[in-house]
Amino acid sequence: MKINLKTRSKRTMAQLITGLILTGLFTSQADAQTNKLPHSSGYVPNVSYTLKTETGNSGMEFVGVGGNIDGHINPILHIQPNSLVQITLINGDGAIHDITVPQFHALSGTVSTKGASATIVFRANKEGQFNYYCNMPGHRAAGMNGKIIVGKEIPVPSLTGISDISRNPADLPPPVGHRGPKSVQIFLKAEELTGKLADKTTYHYWTFNGKVPGPMIRVRVGDTVVLHLSNPATSHMIHSIDLHAVIGPGGGAMLLQTPPGKEKTITFKLLHPGLFVYHCGTPMVAEHIANGMFGMILVEPAGGLPRVNEEFYVMQSEIYTAGPFGKRGNQEFSVHKLLKETPDYFVFNGSVGALTQDHPLQAKVGDTVRIFFGDAGPNFASSFHVIGEQFEKAWPWGSLANKPIRDVQTILVPPGGAFMGQFKLREPGKYILVDHALSRMEQGLSGFLLVSGSPNPALYHSGGEK
Ligand SMILES: [Cu+2]
């Protein structure tokens, strides 16, 4: 019996399936023996996928169409063992392509004009991980390569339920004020977790306390700090801390190498005021920093810092991913790119959009705002600049024992260095935080300072003099 799919709508699905069972065309998953398929249209795939070809800046790729693979580049196809699988290939770019899964002897015809399609069907009669790819010379290397997993489920990364690892720049401790030196207990926890790197992109971060940067530690000169570092048993790595404010070998890292499931404590006294970077000091240190393990410790001078209306905590870093900037899905770390110093991402507070979409800085006209800025690197200096402002007072290198320098446009901050600067807001609007090496803006590096209040036309207006 031949079943004409065009007439399917006139039958109920139950009738159709009954018919298939009766004619023996329908092979249950349990008794599938062979990879042979009926050549008529009388098959019912257990699972079907559609992939569209795409040629872009980052090469060539398959993009999922519909269902839970919609929009994913080279989506992983999860298939139950013995399923009858149909994959439809749609030509989306007008170049010549095909699709093959050689382990299942599946090879489509070629599609060479935009909108043309071809289909492969195969029975996934062995478990494991296999590849689908385009067979045209060079296309697989250019990126047309994806994975099929038959059997054991491997979760597909999805942004729902994925942590926002970026720290709100307004999240920092209050000023120390006028108190004398004392003993302060600080608790930090190493946390390895998958977080949002950019829209539709995730990354496996290593953090202090689940956010990037880690908590700002705010103390005063002469304080004694008792620092506890815990590393959960679920971690995969040893972690530690090197604080640039500490005097002693490794800045604390010699004594704080903490394996998974352990906690270690050190005590140190702070002799010098300043704004200092801290970071994980476990080999490969550059990798631990790039993955998010850094923060700052502010050692206020005696008497404390002068009061301002708003304070913000911002840190710049680079992220080295296997895939290029903007590639969707989970991005893995690339040690090759780290060693070549070719990051694909530059970010403020850990992720693309952290300080634009997620947590922009907010203040109002009349406020004096202070920015604590640190460059975690691991490799690139920052030419930190706020478009449309000048730092009326600036403390280069975070050196707070000195008088500030005045009216600075752009401040150079080395990796492992910091800067404190402030200005009074006099005109409402959107001010953009950048590294004035502006190519990095295209790789994720920008933040907004949103200023509310009344315009000040005597200071700034459209048109000629009034
Ligand atoms: Cu670490």
Residue 153 vs residue 396, higher pLDDT? 396
Quick one: which H or E segment has residue 20? Answer: helix 13-23
Task: Reply yes or no: is the peptide bond before residue 283 cis, omega within 30 of 0.
Answer: no
**Ligand 1 center to 132 CA (angstroms):** 36
CA pair distance 441, 294, nearest whole angstrom: 22
Mean pLDDT within 392-403: 97
**pLDDT of amino acid 160:** 65
CA pair distance 25, 4, nearest whole angstrom: 14
**Ligand 1 center to 283 CA (angstroms):** 8
**Ligand 1 center to 250 CA (angstroms):** 14
User: Residue 92: which pLDDT band, with cuts at 50, 70 and 90?
Assistant: very high
Query: Is 161 among the domain residues?
Result: no
Lowest mean pLDDT among 43-47, 164-168, 336-340: 43-47
Are 247 and 219 in the same domain? yes
Contact between 396 and 419 under an 8 Å Cβ cutoff? The reply is yes
Q: How much of the chain exceeds pLDDT 70, in percent? A: 88
Mean pLDDT within 266-285: 98
**Ligand 1 center to 301 CA (angstroms):** 30
Q: In this structure, what token pair is assigned to residue 245?
A: 């404010």
Contact between 77 and 132 under an 8 Å Cβ cutoff? The reply is yes
Query: Is 190 among the domain residues?
Result: yes
Residue 16 has pLDDT above 80, yes or no: no
Query: pLDDT tens-digit profile of 298-312?
Result: 999 999 999 999 999
Query: Is 5 among the domain residues?
Result: no
Mean pLDDT of the chain: 89
Q: For the residues of 305-348, what is the DSSP string, one character each?
A: PPP-SEEEEEEEEEE-BSSPTT--EEEPB-HHHHHHT--SEEEE
Question: For residue 410, what is the domain's CATH number?
Answer: 2.60.40.420
**Ligand 1 center to 345 CA (angstroms):** 20
Contact residues for 455 (Cβ-Cβ < 8 A; gap 6+) = 427, 428, 461
**pLDDT of amino acid 463:** 93
Report how far apart, in Å, the C-alpha atoms of 92 and of each of 62, 64, 65, 269 are: 9, 11, 11, 63
**Ligand 1 center to 419 CA (angstroms):** 24
Are 441 and 345 in the same domain? yes
**pLDDT of amino acid 9:** 39
Are 112 and 191 in the same domain? no
**Ligand 1 center to 216 CA (angstroms):** 17
Domain boundary among 281, 300, 319: 300
Are 384 and 439 in the same domain? yes
Q: In this structure, what token pair is assigned to residue 441?
A: 């803006």
Are 288 and 339 in the same domain? no
**Ligand 1 center to 164 CA (angstroms):** 19
Are 332 and 442 in the same domain? yes
Lowest mean pLDDT among 28-42, 57-71, 75-89: 28-42
CA pair distance 386, 277, nearest whole angstrom: 21
CA-wise closest residue to 242 among 272, 214, 221: 214
Q: How much of the chain exceeds pLDDT 90, in percent? A: 78
- What dihedral do alpha carbons 7, 10, 14, 16 form, nearest 10°? -20
* Structural domain total, the chain: 3
Contact residues for 221 (Cβ-Cβ < 8 A; gap 6+) = 181, 270, 271, 272, 273, 299, 300, 301, 302
Lowest mean pLDDT among 132-141, 157-166, 223-232: 157-166
CA pair distance 71, 91, nearest whole angstrom: 15
Query: pLDDT tens-digit profile of 347-376?
Result: 999 999 999 999 999 999 999 999 999 999
CA pair distance 244, 365, nearest whole angstrom: 35
Q: For the CA atoms of the chain, what is the radius of gyration?
A: 29
Contact between 194 and 239 under an 8 Å Cβ cutoff? The reply is no
CA pair distance 232, 190, nearest whole angstrom: 7
**Ligand 1 center to 389 CA (angstroms):** 36
**pLDDT of amino acid 37:** 41
Residue 26 has pLDDT above 60, yes or no: no
**pLDDT of amino acid 58:** 64
Lowest mean pLDDT among 119-128, 144-153, 234-243, 424-433: 144-153
Query: Is 61 among the domain residues?
Result: yes
Residue 41 has pLDDT above 50, yes or no: no
Are 372 and 407 in the same domain? yes
Are 295 and 314 in the same domain? no
**Ligand 1 center to 256 CA (angstroms):** 11
CA-wise closest residue to 367 among 425, 306, 428: 425
**Ligand 1 center to 240 CA (angstroms):** 6
Lowest mean pLDDT among 35-39, 400-404, 447-451: 35-39
**Ligand 1 center to 463 CA (angstroms):** 54
Mean pLDDT within 378-395: 98
Domain boundary among 267, 300, 333: 300
Are 137 and 220 in the same domain? no
Residue 42 has pLDDT above 50, yes or no: no
CA-wise closest residue to 195 among 157, 233, 229: 157
**Ligand 1 center to 451 CA (angstroms):** 37
Task: Reply yes or no: is the peptide bond before residue 296 cis, omega within 30 of 0.
Answer: no
**Ligand 1 center to 332 CA (angstroms):** 17
Query: Is 435 among the domain residues?
Result: yes
User: Residue 73: which pLDDT band, with cuts at 50, 70 and 90?
Assistant: confident
**Ligand 1 center to 403 CA (angstroms):** 35
H helices of 64-129, in order, are none
Lowest mean pLDDT among 150-164, 233-247, 294-308, 334-348: 150-164
Contact between 251 and 242 under an 8 Å Cβ cutoff? The reply is yes
Query: Is 457 among the domain residues?
Result: no
**Ligand 1 center to 266 CA (angstroms):** 17
User: Residue 208: which pLDDT band, with cuts at 50, 70 and 90?
Assistant: very high
- Cβ atoms within 10 A of the Cβ of 4, count? 10
**Ligand 1 center to 176 CA (angstroms):** 29
Contact between 361 and 450 under an 8 Å Cβ cutoff? The reply is yes
Are 281 and 357 in the same domain? no
Are 437 and 318 in the same domain? yes
**pLDDT of amino acid 72:** 86
Mean pLDDT within 214-241: 97
- Cβ atoms within 10 A of the Cβ of 26, count? 17
Quick one: which H or E segment has residue 17? Answer: helix 13-23
**Ligand 1 center to 188 CA (angstroms):** 12
Residue 158 has pLDDT above 70, yes or no: no
**Ligand 1 center to 420 CA (angstroms):** 26
CA pair distance 437, 402, nearest whole angstrom: 28
Mean pLDDT within 267-279: 98
Domain range holding 231?
183-300
**Ligand 1 center to 441 CA (angstroms):** 27
**Ligand 1 center to 445 CA (angstroms):** 24
Domain boundary among 244, 269, 300: 300
Mean pLDDT within 105-133: 92
**Ligand 1 center to 107 CA (angstroms):** 46
Query: Is 276 among the domain residues?
Result: yes
**pLDDT of amino acid 36:** 39
**pLDDT of amino acid 142:** 81
**Ligand 1 center to 258 CA (angstroms):** 9
CA-wise closest residue to 45 among 26, 68, 66, 70: 26
Residue 6 has pLDDT above 80, yes or no: no
Query: Is 175 among the domain residues?
Result: no
Are 279 and 321 in the same domain? no
CA pair distance 41, 170, nearest whole angstrom: 62
Contact residues for 384 (Cβ-Cβ < 8 A; gap 6+) = 316, 373, 375, 410, 411, 412, 413, 419, 433, 434, 435, 436
Report how far apart, in Å, the C-alpha atoms of 213 and of each of 47, 169, 192, 351, 388 are: 44, 9, 13, 10, 26
